[in-house]
Amino acid sequence: MSPENRYSCVLLFGPPGVGKGTQGKILANIPGFFHLSVGDVFRSVDIGSEDGKEVYDYISEGQLVPDPLTMKIWKKAVDAYVALSWYKPHEDLLVLDGMPRNVEQVSLVEKYLNVHQIIYLECSDEEDMIHRIRRRAIRENRTDDANEDVIRHRFSVYHQVTAPVIDRYPADMISRVDCNGSPAEVLKLILDQVIPVQNAHFRDNN
């Protein structure tokens, strides 16, 4: 993909359970934003397929899906959304949740993404996030979130493997958002940061 055709996007970044998916889904209901959760993409892959079996083996144990498989499945999903006109790159700002998940993926995604901003969602209480994830597992029947040992392993993987991603981006691209408030309060803080980016995207493509 040529540099001028890369997808303009903002990244939702932060530990498991911090609310990336919740906020992404809310933004998706606002014209001009298209939310894509890599975790949701993984969970939607046919578990009977070869890729689906491999993905399930990793996420069911709280492990990261290997980079080549991640990029393959993610790109296939994006191409499908574009083909269906659900995602219109010249009109929509991509809100990407769940990638890059390690420092190696930072360079891999540069081929496809023009990252304008990173919304770094932070929560001071990790135990509260663990409880959130378990409640979500019951509500949404997400088997990868039901086992507390698996959840805690996901946090360990996040701290060791994913958290260093933030250091690969310039500090002025990163907007830190406190997620200890209500979803509406958090949304307001996010919108304050991403509306200028969306406005610039509209100007550049109209």
Summarize pLDDT for 41-77 with one digit per residue, the tens.
Answer: 888 888 888 888 888 888 888 788 899 999 999 999 9
Query: What number of other Cβ atoms are within 10 A of residue 85's Cβ?
Result: 8
pTM: 0.85
Say if residue 129's pLDDT is above 80. no
What is the tens place of the pLDDT at every residue in 172-206? Answer: 999 999 988 888 999 999 999 999 999 888 787 76
Q: What is the CATH number of the domain that holds 111?
A: 3.40.50.300
User: How many domains would you assign to the chain?
Assistant: 1
What is the tens place of the pLDDT at every residue in 94-108? Answer: 999 999 999 999 999
**Rounded distance between C-alpha atoms, residue 197 and residue 93, angstroms:** 8
Pick the more confident residue, 151 or 104. Answer: 104
**Rounded distance between C-alpha atoms, residue 43 and residue 155, angstroms:** 19
In degrees to the nearest 10, what's the CA dihedral of 183, 36, 148, 15?
-70
**Where does the pLDDT of residue 2 fall: very low under 50, low under 70, confident under 90, or very high at 90 and above?**
low
Domain of 37 in residue numbering reads as 3-205
